[in-house]
Structure 1
Amino acid sequence: MKTPLLAALALLLTALPAHALPAAGVQAEAREMFAKIVSYPSVAGTPAVGQLTDYLAGEFRKAGFAPADIEIVNADGHPGLIVTLRGKSKKPPILFLSHMDVVDAKREQWTSDPYTLTERDGALYGRGTVDNKYGLLTQAQAFIRLKREGFVPDRDLILAFSGDEEVDGISARALAQRLKGAAYALNSDAGGGSHGKDGSTSYAIQAGEKTYASFELTTRNPGGHSSRPRPDNAVYELARVLTRLETYRFPAHWNPVIVQGLQAQLPSLQGPMKEAVSAFIAAPSQQTADAIAAIDPAAFPELRTTCVATMLRGGIVENALANDATATVNCRILPGETVAETRATLARVAADEKLEIKPLGNPLESPLSDLPLEVRAALAKQLPPGTRITPYIEAGATDGLYFRSAGVPTVGVGPLIETEGGNYNYHGIDERVPLSEFNAGLDHYYRLAKALAGGK
């Protein structure tokens, strides 16, 4: 699993001085646009996603983009948006990824209306303020500013905004297939920085993410009346299978990205966990990885594939033996391991020859992405002095997995530098972004685009 470029990902970089905050006019315009973006309750599958798509397309037209460079994509009813800033050459384009949809929010649970951007206690509150409408805003604003300035990049720069990242990823799959000839993609929905309590700054780049795959495990028998129990009860057989899966731990796997990602987290650890992680970093092995899991089995899921039962169904009435019983098992599979291998492991651990194991949907395997050297250099120039930059593997999933699966190297380079210990409530009640961090990240993609695509 190791490659020279992946090893290069693990280097710790010293950044050059950062640029000043964006001008007041830029901040004001961004704040106004952010309020509008947040006002759309753009839960995947609702009309608001299409309305937000139309609004954004209109803003790009106002900025001077030609109609031919603004395309609204319909992916089985899920909108997507492609916007192209035309370049001077036919070099493969650079993609900028964000998603327009959010998880739902209930007004009665929030202190203020989740779909009205509200400033309170030095923060901006609203659904999606962090996930992912701030990334959406900063990428959209970067393209609008560059177009107004007459900036012509040395290659095409392309925005690709999806509309159902929080659910099925149908629009992202379609966008990835349309744009699979790109040089690489910069994903706003992953990565980002952290200001430590000790005054240090670190920046994490998402270099990969686990494959999302669910399986249905089903046991069957003839059933019968509940007054005459059978020894081959489908419910009990499934329960025994799940008990075996519960106690199974997939073997640990590691590479330079994982080791350096753990090293970046080391300063925030304490006590036995810090000792265990330090021992693993010094000498990675199954033994040192298992020592981490012995302290907290849920800690550092990037070390191994995980599978867990999430749903159960079986039987139709209370006085009849179930003819079948089914469990849904959700797996998060490490890059470098396959869906087929994971299914085979489930079958082996279940130890039930009659058990049926069916994959759900069409899970995509997502490889690790090498970090383009120019991206690393551009980040180093615009982050605060002394910033430590490290790669990591995401335990969850983003639109990046569809682009990686389509052959487009994708790295998560989010615009926020958060405060260690801060409460941002991603997906939760009263989601918010501190106003100071909102302003500080507005130039993130504007600077990256200029640094990566030259032009004039």
Structure 2
Amino acid sequence: MNWRNSLLAGAALTLLAGAGYAADGPLRPDQTAFRALYKELVETDTSITTGSCTALADKIEAHLRAAGYDDAAITRFAVPEAPKEGGLVAVLPGTSKTLKPILLLGHLDVVVAKREDWTRDPYTLIEENGYFYGRGTSDMKALDAIWIDMMIRFKKEGTRLKRTLKLALTCGEETSTAFNGANWLAQNKRDLIDAEFALNEGGGGRTDGHGKVVQMSMHVGEKAAVNYRIEATNPGGHSSAPVRDNAIYELSDALAKIRDHEFPLMLNDTTRAFFSRLGPTRNDEIGKAMTAIVANPQDKAAEATLNGDKSYHSMLRTTCVATLLDGGHANNALPQRAGANINCRIFPGVSSDEVRLELEKVIADPRMTVKQTDDRGPLAKSPPLTPAMLGPAEKLVAKYYPGVPLVPTMSTGATDGIFLEAVGIPSYGPPGTYGDPDGNGTHGLNERAIVKGVYTGRDFLTELVKDYASR
């Protein structure tokens, strides 16, 4: 990517600001302790198949108690039907009796990782060439470790914040069929997690792919994740006498249509602000397209340019993609049934029924059925982006990443913030850490986090939380 020359000086200052961090020199004592905590989190398997969030919550509780948190400050939770999916809430009281608390939210669970598919052991924290490798290093155990480390240091150091600080660590964010701790807390322990706002995943920064930070984001709102099953049925028969009327072929035709379908372009306040702020900072065709699409959403040339970046493409519309397949019942029989899971990320304000009807229209085959199978909960409510939220973050971005723009961003993924927003607790993803434009293997193979980004983000977020808690 080609960026404005004005960012080059900022990038040079950013590199200087990072001097003294792990990528450039020896760790400070506090960073050594943080790294050990981060390592423990990554190396504790919390996947839905072979891991246990409860086991990791046990370890975290031990650290909190060693720092001075007692029974009154720690609440454990789980349900009998999901004993390995438990979590905890910890509270650090503030000095104000009138200011509402701040909630630090993090999920402990990770996407399943198969050792045979990875270059390295996914449940061993490995540091190589400026990256931390391991499942959860990016999503989201770096931020979990930052939140936990912050609570421990504030307690040990006797830090007195005006606002009470709450930490909620939950399970079930990565698996729609699992027990979701954030949803359970919102529905059953609303008072325990009550807060003026929550700080959650979804924010952060982005490099140019070569180490230079070019963007910082404040996560404000998100898409809704909904799953649909499309299915073809057929009487079947003997495979020795095939016919064109075949459930697998019908499913294949339907999937090809979904692959080729583009949902209509949409903008909201957050995405308009995102493209409006970021576009002028870029001296390339994408920057021009960002500015143009805000001025005229019908600009097809600008849309085509932005669609070339998978994250911008997703930010501009609802997207649906096939994620699971099944079909047939015997090697020597014509299939009686074939189906697929379609995972959709729905643009705010669009209902799941609207998407289902559009899928039916796209498939255009009365032999196929389209049924919604699950969702992650209520449609997300975009929280307000107030000066009180944006101002402190902008000051720290200028300090840690000079010349880099801070832009409000709508997440194209899904977070547990939707459950908080549904009960009146706005959720934001703060800037601070950063990753590469390729996604750093999140949910895929060889997941990684930028070493300097983790350590710099830790210092950044510590200052940000202190600032928010003092206002």
TM-score (norm 2): 0.80
Letter in structure 1 aligned against 2:442: Y
1:446 pairs with 2:462: yes
1:162 pairs with 2:170: yes
Letter in structure 2 aligned against 1:59: H
1:422, distance to aligned residue in structure 2 (A) = 8.9
Partner of 1:370: 384
Partner of 1:79: 86
1:139, distance to aligned residue in structure 2 (A) = 0.7
Q: 1:227 to 1:335 in 2, by over 3 A?
A: same
Distance 2:275 2:115 in 1: 38
- Percent identity between the aligned chains? 34
Residues 26-73 of structure 1: per-residue CA shift (max 9 Å, x gap) = 223222322332332232354543221111111111111121221222
Distance 1:297 1:435 in 2: 25
Instruction: Provide the secondary structure at the position in 2 that maps to 1:336.
Output: coil
Quick one: higher RCO (CA 8 Å, sep 6+), 1 or 2? 1
Residues 377-411 of structure 1: per-residue CA shift (max 9 Å, x gap) = 22123222444211112222222233334432211
Partner of 1:94: 102
1:30 pairs with 2:17: no
Partner of 1:312: 325
Letter in structure 2 aligned against 1:348: K
Residues 142-168 of structure 1: per-residue CA shift (max 9 Å, x gap) = 111222233343343211112232323
Distance 1:430 1:158 in 2: 32
Distance 2:256 2:186 in 1: 39
Distance 2:88 2:308 in 1: 45
Query: Residue 426 of structure 1: which of 442, 458, 467 is its match?
Result: 442
Letter in structure 2 aligned against 1:447: E
Q: Greater CA deviation, 109-118 or 390-399?
A: 109-118
Distance 2:74 2:211 in 1: 45
Q: How many residues align?
A: 438
8 A Cα contact 1:69 1:84, kept in partner: yes
Instruction: Provide the secondary structure at the position in 1 that maps to 2:172.
Output: coil
Residues 254-304 of structure 1: per-residue CA shift (max 9 Å, x gap) = 023213333565489787655544432332226456534776788521101
Instruction: Provide the secondary structure at the position in 2 that maps to 1:329.
Output: strand
1:142 pairs with 2:154: no
Partner of 1:172: 182
Unaligned runs of 5+ in 2: 1-9, 22-26
Instruction: Provide the secondary structure at the position in 2 that maps to 1:443.
Output: helix
Distance 1:233 1:447 in 2: 61
Q: Greater CA deviation, 164-173 or 267-276?
A: 267-276
8 A Cα contact 1:252 1:286, kept in partner: no
8 A Cα contact 2:231 2:338, kept in partner: yes
8 A Cα contact 1:210 1:396, kept in partner: yes
RMSD: 3.6
Mapping of residues 16-415 of structure 1, within 5 Å: 24-75=28-79, 76-77=82-83, 78-87=85-94, 88-89=96-97, 91-105=99-113, 113-168=121-176, 170-177=180-187, 178-179=189-190, 181-187=194-200, 189-194=201-206, 202-226=215-239, 233-263=246-276, 266=279, 275-285=288-298, 287=300, 290-292=303-305, 300-353=313-366, 355-364=368-377, 365-383=379-397, 384=399, 385-415=402-432
Letter in structure 2 aligned against 1:137: A
Unaligned runs of 5+ in 1: 1-13
8 A Cα contact 1:41 1:104, kept in partner: no
Q: Greater CA deviation, 147-156 or 383-392?
A: 147-156
Q: 1:423 to 1:166 in 2, by over 3 A?
A: closer
1:344, distance to aligned residue in structure 2 (A) = 1.7
Letter in structure 1 aligned against 2:138: V
Q: Greater CA deviation, 71-80 or 347-356?
A: 347-356
1:334, distance to aligned residue in structure 2 (A) = 0.7
TM-score (norm 1): 0.82
Q: Greater CA deviation, 189-198 or 365-374?
A: 189-198
Distance 2:428 2:455 in 1: 23
